[in-house]
A and B are shown apart, each in its own frame.
Chain A
Amino acid sequence: MPKVLITGNEALAEAAVRAGCRRYFGYPITPQNEIPEFMARRLPEIGGTFIQAESELAAINMVYGAAAVGERAMTSSSSPGISLMQEALSFMAASELPAVIVNMQRGGPGLGNISPSQADYFQAVKGGGHGDYKLLVYAPSTIQEIVDLTVLAFDKADEYRNPVMILGDGVLGQMMEPVELPDITPKTVDKPWALTGAKGRPGKVIRSLFMLPGEDGALERQNYKMKAKYDRMCEHEVLCEMVQTDDAEIVLVAFGTSARIAKTAVHLARVEGIKAGLIRPITLFPFPEKIIAEIAGRAERFLVVEMNLGQMVEDVRLAVNGKAPVAFYGRPGGAVLAVDDILSAIHNCVHGKEPEKIYTGSE
Chain B
Amino acid sequence: MYQDVMIAGFGGQGVLVAGKLLAYAGMLEGKHVTWFPSYGAEIRGGTANCTVIISSEEIGSPVVQNPSAMLIFNEASFKKFETRIRQGGQLFLNTSLVKMLPSRTDIVRVDVKANDIAEGLGDIRIANMVMLGALLKKTGVVALDSVLAALKQVLPARRHSLIPLNENALKSGAQLCSPV
Contact = CB atoms under 8 A, between A and B. Distances in A.
A345 to B, nearest CB: 15
A3 B27 contact: yes
Interface of A: 3, 5, 30-31, 114, 170-171, 174-178, 257, 260-265, 336-339
A176 B37 CA distance: 9
A14 to B, nearest CB: 17
A177 B39 contact: no
Contact of A114 (B37, B39, B61, B62): B39
Contacts of B37: 174
Interface in B21-68: 23-24, 27, 32-37, 39-41, 58-63, 65
Interface of B: 20, 23-24, 27, 32-37, 39-41, 58-63, 65
A336 B39 contact: no
Interface centre among A174, A176, A257, A260 (most CB of B within 10 A): A176
A338 B41 contact: no
A176 B34 contact: yes
A5 B24 contact: yes
B39 A31 contact: yes
Contacts of A174: 36-37, 39
Interface centre among B20, B33, B62 (most CB of A within 10 A): B62
B34 A263 contact: no
A139 to B, nearest CB: 16
B39 A30 contact: yes
A339 B20 contact: no
10 closest A-B pairs by CB = A264-B60, A176-B35, A30-B40, A114-B40, A261-B61, A178-B27, A336-B63, A260-B60, A175-B36, A261-B60
Contacts of A337: 61
B42 to A, nearest CB: 10
A171 B39 contact: no
Given A336-B63, A338-B65, A175 B33 contact: no
Nearest to B28: A3
A86 B97 CA distance: 50
B152 to A, nearest CB: 13
A5 B65 contact: no
B39 A170 contact: yes
Contact of A336 (B34, B35, B40, B61): B61
A175 to B, nearest CB: 5
Given A5-B23, A5-B24, A170-B39, A175 B34 contact: yes
Given A178-B27, A337-B61, 9 more contacts: A5-B20, A5-B33, A114-B39, A114-B40, A175-B62, A176-B34, A260-B61, A261-B60, A263-B58
A340 to B, nearest CB: 8
